Structures are given as C-alpha cells and as structure tokens.
Structure 1
Amino acid sequence: MKIRCLIRSENNPANIYVLLSAGRKKEFVRKTGKTIDPKKWDAEKSSPKGKTDDIKNLREDLKEIDTFITRAFNNDEPAGIEINGDWLQKQIDLFNGKTVKVDLDILTTYIQKYIDEAPFKQNAKKELGLSRGRVQNLKLFKNTILKYESEVFKGKSILIKDINLQFLEKFKIWMFGKGYSTNYVGKNIANFRTVCRDAGKNDIVISTQVKNFKGISESREPEDIITLDEQEQEQIKKAVLLREALINARKWLLLGCLIGQRAGDLLNITDKNIKEIAGVKIIELKQQKTGKLVAIPLLPEAVEIIENGLPYKISLSRFNEYIKDVCQIAGLDAPTKARIKEKKGQPHKKDIFPKWEVISSHVCRRSFATNFYGRIPTPILMNITAHGTERMFLLYIGKTTYDNAFQMIEYFNKLAPRTKEAPAMEVIRNTAEK
C-alpha cells in the first residue's frame, strides 16, 4: 500500500488529491479538500514547497491525512473490508470531520453503528455502556459477516431485511462447515437477533421472523472441562521458576483457583480489596460482569499468598501466556482432549494436547467450582462464582442434577446419626437399559 498527494491542474488554486495504491490494478484518487497555488507544489516530492506558515501547516495537514488513511487501511484491509474509491472518500471525510452518509439497511454498517453507540447502550446490569468483551464480540461478529459476504455473496452486502430463518440456516451450515464451535455459532445467531431488533426500533425494515430467532449452545463433556486439581496446584506451587514474571503469574493462578473469580476481576484485586471480618480475612469486590458485590472468605493457602505480597498487575493476555509456561515447567503434560483456537473468532481445533498447552485464565474459576463442589454448599459456591442458576453451574463443572442429588443424599447421611428406626438413605443409580 502506497499513498501520495498530487495536483491535476495549473489553475490557481488547484485541488490537492490523494492517490492510494492498494495493490495491482487498485489505484484510487480522491480530493483531500485542500488547495494550493501550483507554483508552490513540488511534484517530485509530492508535497508543498516553501517556508511560509501557511505552507508549513498545509504540509503538516497532508502528512496527517497520510497517517490517518494508513492506519485505517491497516485496520480494515486485514478484516476483509473492501478497499475502493468510496472507502478512500470516507476516510478523507472522517479526517475532515464531515458526516459520512451511510446506508443503515446494510447489516455491517448497522453493526458498526451499534458498536459506535456501545458507551450509550444499556448493559445486563441495567447500566450504560457495553463491556469491552461485548464490544469485542460484536467486532468479531462483523468480521465473520464480512467473510461470509466475501465467500458466499461475492462481496455483495447483506441487507437487514433479508435476514430471516432461511438465511440463518444457510449461515449456520456455512459456519459449521468452517469448523466453528456450536457455542460460537450460537453467539452469532444471538447477535443477529440483537442487531435486527435494534434496527427495528430505529425504523429499519426487518423480517417478521426475527422474534423466532433461537440461539444454540452445547454442553461440554466432562473430559472437555479443563481444571487444576489440588495435586496439580501443589505441583505448580513447587515448580522451580527463575523468571519474576512467571513467579508473579503463578501467584495469580493459585490465588484464582482459591477464590473462583473471572480473570477480569481476579487481576484487578489490590490491597484495598482485602478486609477482615470477625477475625477472618476476606476479599471483597464488585464483579465487572454482574455488578454484584461478593465477599470471599480466604482459605489458609490464599492467606499465605496474600501475606507474602499480592502479585503485581498484569494484562489478561500476558497472564494467559505466562500460566502456560508455568504449567509446562510444573510438568503438567498429561494428554488432554480440548478445543483450542489460534485467534479469536477462528474455528476451534479439537485434538489431544499436553495439558499445559490448553491452560488459560478460565481454569481458575472452573477449578474452584469443581474442587469445592460437594465440600461447600452449592448455593454458596454459586454466589461466589456468580452463576445465575444451578443448571448453569452444574453444566459449567460438567455435573448433572443427578450428581447434585447424590451429593445431597450423602450430606444427609452424614448430618444425622443412623438408627434402626431411621435407615440411611442410599444412592441408587438408574440401571435401566437405555
């Protein structure tokens, strides 16, 4: 990609144009909105010549236009957005502060409008502003649509009014054919419903079938749920780490497995979150996703981590990177079936991997929930992990409602002494043929 400025007239004033070369046979020219006396134009350097303040300011403006277009190109071209003359004019208009006329009936245009208005949208907590994760999900959704348009519609834009149940079926077939997971396909269907409903509120024509759009999801098999049991956590604790960054990440990882919070909340914990109630140390925090205030009593192992000094703050991406290294050094290399993806929004690859390779920040919350299930009453665990329903909690750790029933029976047996008059309850599993 190359950009240069030029003039096409000897008349004074002459319009200054931008020439964008975006590949073979892809050259586009548009006016910058700037003018100059042709005598003050250096054609060889593609720049104004002279030392007056006006010329210096003009030269600086053209450099800024170049930078603005280059940044937009580097962002849009990899995302599959078509680079053409209209695209170039849009960038120049944006630079000059002009309102760009757009067609909101076009799906990708409306998705972008929804993203731009994210700070003013109501979130799940009934507050203003969509979360960073939600905005990222919408950006990935838009990129997926652009790929679909490129492959199936030969680059033609999808109109919102054409999104109906038949369209969704074809879209799902395409996504499954690409290897996307059921959950990711379901998220995209949910995004279609959200965007179409919002468009309808803004008088954009939508299909009458939008109200029937149903999301899809899958429950993970127990072997697909990655956790760190107490023995593995002990291996991690004893691993010999030489880098300070890995020692710090290990602290976050072990603490996370003991308090059951999402990584976004975990990595934001500071000394201000540590409190003491009735002689018991707790971590008190407001969960980002739910807005819920939770207080988590600290086990002795967690108190030990904190008293030795809280780990210092790191980004989520670094945390995910470092804990893989920590677990590899700790020798967590058992063959583990899992799905992984190289980039967000890309299809998952399901295979057998060394366990350390499939470790990510999710392991903290899931390990806590799994390891303490049956030892701490489920409602208390759900309150800490912020699961809205018992069904979702059990799916999260790969259990069923029958597992919960067996747990309750065992709990009742321990609760009351058995007598001849009051026989113990027994766990009877269903042996009927399926």
Structure 2
Amino acid sequence: MAKLTIRFEIRKDKINKDGYAPISCMLSIAQQRKRVTTSLRVPPINWDTENQEAVYVKIGKNSNQSFLMKSDVSRTNSLIDSIRSKFIFIEDSFKHSGKNYSVEDVFAEYNKSKLGTGIKAQKVEASKSSVVVFIDEYIERNKAIRAKRSLGVYSQLQRHLERFQHHSGKKVTFDCIRLSFFEEFQSYLIEETEINNITIAKQLSTLKTVLGYARRDGVQMDQSYRDFKIKKQKLEVITLTEGEYQSIKNVDLNGVSRHEKARDIFIFLCATSMRYSDYAQFRREHIKGQTIQLTMKKGSKPWGIPLNSDSISILEKYKELEKPLPSISNQKLSKYIKEVCQIAGIDTPIEIVRFRGSEPIKTVHPKYKLISAHTGRKTFCTLSLERGASVEMVMEWSGHESYSSFKRYVNLSKRHSISQMGKIWGEATVMKAS
C-alpha cells in the first residue's frame, strides 16, 4: 500500500496586504494529491522551504518588512507539528484496520477531527493569551517601522494593565475582554492611580486600538467592549495673542544667546506652523524659492509652506549657518521659550481644569509657564484666522486634512469675535442701564 506523503509550503501567490503568505499542506498517496488549507500565515522571509518550518530571522531596524518574532515562530511550528501528527495518526488507523484508503479518505477523516486544520486550536490559544504579552509582541514587531514615541503609549498601557492584574488578582486575557472589563479597568484607573481623565481616556482608547489589532490578527473575543464610550475632556488651547506675539518679537533679551536663538526659532514656528519634529529635519535643500517643501515627520505627507516676512527675516539672520536655523533640543527649546515669554511679560493667569473621575482639579498658572514649542503651530493657525485668512487656506498652509483636528489648534480672542460681529452685523452701542 502506498505511503502518505505530507508536505507544508507557503503560497507566495496569495500574500496579503500585511505581507503574510498562507501555509498549506500538500497530501500525496500514489498519484493522488490534495491541498489542505490551514489558518497559518507567515511572511515569506520567515519560511524555510527545505525544512518546511517557520524560522526566526533578525531584521534590521530600517527594514519595512513584515517578520515573525521568536514566540510567533515557536507557536507556528507547534501547530504545524500538530497537523502533521494528526495526519500520521489517521494513516496509522487506516493501516491497522486493513482498509484501503485514498488521499480523499485521509482528508475526510481529518476534517472530522476537533483539531480541524489547526484553526480551532489557534483561536482557542489566542483567546486565552495575555493582552500584556500581545502588547509586548506588538511593540517588538513594530519598533523598526514606528517612532519610539508613538510606541510609548503602548508601553504605558502595558504597565497599567500589569498593575491592574496585581491589584485585582485577575489575569487580563482576550477571553475576559468585554464591556464590563472596560468599566472595571476605568474605575481602577480613577480610584487607584494619580492620572487624570485625559490620560485615562488615552489609555482606554489605546486599549481599544490594541484589541482592534488583535481582532484583525484572528483573535476571537467578545465584541461588547466596542460599545464602551470613552469620555474625552475638551482641552484648553494655549496660543499667543497678536499683542503677545509682537511683544516676543520686540523684547530686549540683553544679548543672552540661548534666549535670542530660542526666540528666533519660536517666531519661525509661529510664522510657518512647523512642529518641532519638522524644524528638526529642516535643511537648506528644503527651501524652494518662496516656499519650504518637505515631507511632514508626522503622517509622512508632502507639505509646502509659503514663506512670509517674519520667516524670511529669521532665515536671513542665520544664512551663514550650514543649517537654516540653530539646533536646540525640544526640551531646551520649550524651557528657553518660557523664559523669553516671562521676560516679555506674558504672565496672564490661566486656569487649568482637569478631572479625576467626577472631581475637578483646578490650578492657576502664569501664561508663560504653559508655552511650549508646539504653541507656535497653534499661534500660527489662530493669528492667521484673526488676520483674515480663510479656514481652508490656513488648513492648507498648516497641512491639516480634517477640520475636527484643525479646530483643536485655534483659540480666537473675544476681541476678534466682537470685531467680526461688528463687521458682519454692524457695530454695537453700549447699552445704558435703565
């Protein structure tokens, strides 16, 4: 009687958008062949054709290729071995019974088994796996293609989940995720940590993102968590007024170099809407005539910024440098800008309100303490609108693609609001007391 031959191979002709190819199992008896699909997928770089198994390959930091981590490789090979063992067991059963059998008979018997094609085993294993471990694997898998700062939010969530597990005595696995878990985790963050509602909302939102990744990766879980509504507090928008902007431009800094450079860079950010990350990558080759042409660091989108009198005057001041502007770290720039704003007398008291649960936490700060490098971008958007530019034009200049994100950058003054009402509806006269 002919022997059953079992061979595993990947279908490079069916690579999905994430760069993963399906693993199939080819059964052969005499001249009969049968291809059996499995739920397993691997990037082609992680497949050893000769040995018919997944292998770990160390990928360089600058590579955009998909790849498996060591734990993924081990799990994949374990499931391959399970499938192979099941086919061998079925063939042995036929042999011992003395029955003739074909490749279709083997396949039919295999189909009856609870293991199936490995799909059920994989889903059960995944649903009972740790969310904390999944986050760790996600960070490892994406650290070559994601900015370190953007992955930091996942590390923060991981730490909060670990502390929640210790506090509650419950392991957070995918099969325990549901609406009630979100309610319990939110209560823990409010009652047992020092973080405010804004940070709590960020943690819950990140957890939903993680669950979305896992769901698309084939992990089964209760979908009721998607009905959990995250309450987000509207943040204060700190920008400079026209008068404050002019004060910074004209303030006497007594020749202090760090203040002069920080003020000039900040004025440039206010006049161009640049983020710090774009200032950090700004080179002379990006200056094209009367515009700056570069690719945004955030979102990797091509961006054209028209120059104006304020931005050109700063570039002229430093035209002897190799780079267009002096180099200062984000932390030092924000520190020195605060000092410059304090010297310029930008000290209006600003009340900041945060919530922990339903309890408001109010603090009052002089305005200069709330200024950072990113205030420049918000100031650009606000002053451009107050000076008469349309919303559409300012969004084009600043590179915003949606109004919902743009409006978070705008803080129009009450004086501007009153002035615009007067222009549209006529000037108001002060009412006399009756």
Band the TM-score falls in, shorter-chain normalisation: 0.5 to 0.7
Structure 1 position 188 matched with structure 2 position 212: no
- Corresponding residue number in structure 1 for 2:275: 262
- Corresponding residue number in structure 1 for 2:240: 228
Measure, in 2, the Cα distance between the counterparts of 1:325 and 1:207. Answer: 52
- Corresponding residue number in structure 2 for 1:15: none
Which runs of no fewer than 5 residues in structure 2 stay unpaired?
1-68, 76-124, 319-323, 355-359, 429-434
- Corresponding residue number in structure 1 for 2:339: 325
1:215-254 superposed matches below 5 A: 215-220=230-235, 224-237=236-249, 238-254=251-267
CA separation of 1:249 and 1:143: change in aligned 2, threshold 3 A: farther
Q: Report deviation, 1:114.
A: 0.9
- Correspondence for 2:368 among 348, 356, 367: 356
Q: Report deviation, 1:202.
A: 3.6
Q: Report deviation, 1:99.
A: 9.7
User: How big is each residue's C-alpha offset from its partner over 1:53-82, in whole Å with a ceiling of 9 and x where there is no partner?
Assistant: xxxxxxxxxxxxxxxxxxxxxxxxxxxxxx
1:105-254 superposed matches below 5 A: 105-119=129-143, 129-150=145-166, 152-154=167-169, 156-177=170-191, 178=193, 180-220=195-235, 224-237=236-249, 238-254=251-267
Structure 1 position 301 matched with structure 2 position 310: yes
Contact 2:293 2:303 in 1 (8 A): yes
Q: Report deviation, 1:368.
A: 0.7
SS of residue in 2 equivalent to 1:235: helix
CA separation of 1:165 and 1:99: change in aligned 2, threshold 3 A: closer
Measure, in 2, the Cα distance between the counterparts of 1:117 and 1:313. Answer: 32
Q: Report deviation, 1:248.
A: 1.8
Q: How many residues align?
A: 294
Measure, in 1, the Cα distance between the counterparts of 2:403 and 2:364. Answer: 30
User: How big is each residue's C-alpha offset from its partner over 1:388-428, in whole Å with a ceiling of 9 and x where there is no partner?
Assistant: 3224323432469xx99x96x988x6xxxxxxxxxxx6699
SS of residue in 2 equivalent to 1:373: helix
Aligned identity (percent) is 23
Flag as ranges the 4+ runs of structure 1 deviating above 4 A: 97-104, 425-428
Measure, in 1, the Cα distance between the counterparts of 2:345 and 2:162. Answer: 42
Measure, in 1, the Cα distance between the counterparts of 2:198 and 2:400. Answer: 18
Q: Report deviation, 1:211.
A: 3.8
RMSD: 3.5
Measure, in 2, the Cα distance between the counterparts of 1:295 and 1:397. Answer: 21
Which runs of no fewer than 5 residues in structure 1 stay unpaired?
1-93, 121-128, 341-347, 414-424, 429-434
Point out the structure with max Rg over C-alpha.
2
Q: Report deviation, 1:300.
A: 0.9
Q: Report deviation, 1:339.
A: 6.2
Structure 1 position 282 matched with structure 2 position 291: yes
Q: TM-score, normalised by structure 2?
A: 0.59
Which residue identity lines up with residue 263 of structure 1 in the other structure?
Answer: Y
- Correspondence for 2:384 among 352, 366, 372: 372
- Corresponding residue number in structure 1 for 2:83: none
- Corresponding residue number in structure 2 for 1:39: none
Q: Report deviation, 1:338.
A: 2.9
Measure, in 2, the Cα distance between the counterparts of 1:248 and 1:117. Answer: 40
Structure 1 position 394 matched with structure 2 position 403: no
Measure, in 2, the Cα distance between the counterparts of 1:339 and 1:136. Answer: 25
User: How big is each residue's C-alpha offset from its partner over 1:265-306, in whole Å with a ceiling of 9 and x where there is no partner?
Assistant: 123222222221xxxx22222112222222222221111111
